[in-house]
Amino acid sequence: MPGRPGRIPVVRPALAVVPTDTVPPGGFDGFQARFPELCSEPPPPPASLPALIDPKDDSNTRTITPFYDQGGPVEILPFLYLGSCYHSSNKEVLESLGITAVLNVSASCPNHFEGQFRYKSIPVEDNHMAEISIWFQEAIGFIDSVKSSGGRVLVHCQAGISRSATICLAYLIQTQRVRLEEAFDFVKQRRGVISPNFGFMGQLLQFETEVLCH
pLDDT tens digits, one per residue of 158-181 = 999 999 999 999 999 999 999 999
Q: Cβ–Cβ contacts within 10 Å for residue 182, how many?
A: 20
CATH topology of domain 70-213: Protein-Tyrosine Phosphatase; Chain A (3.90.190)
Question: 106-124 burial, b for 16+ CB within 10 Å, e for fewer?
Answer: beebeebeeeebbbbebeb
For the annotated catalytic residues, the residue numbers are 157
What are the extents of the domains in the chain? 70-213
How many other β-carbons are positioned within 10 Å of the β-carbon of residue 9? 8
User: Residue 74 pairs with which residues in a beta bridge?
Assistant: 82
pLDDT tens, residue by residue, 74-132:
999 999 999 999 999 999 999 999 999 999 999 999 999 999 999 999 999 999 999 99
Across-strand partners of 110? none
| Res 3: pLDDT | 45
> How high is the pLDDT of residue 76?
98
Report the pLDDT value the prediction gives residue 4, as an integer from 0 to 100: 44
- Give yes or no for a contact between 156 and 104, defined as CB atoms under 8 angstroms apart: yes
Q: With left for phi above 0 and alpha for psi between -120 and 50, is residue 6 left, alpha or beta?
A: left
Predicted local confidence at residue 174, as pLDDT: 98
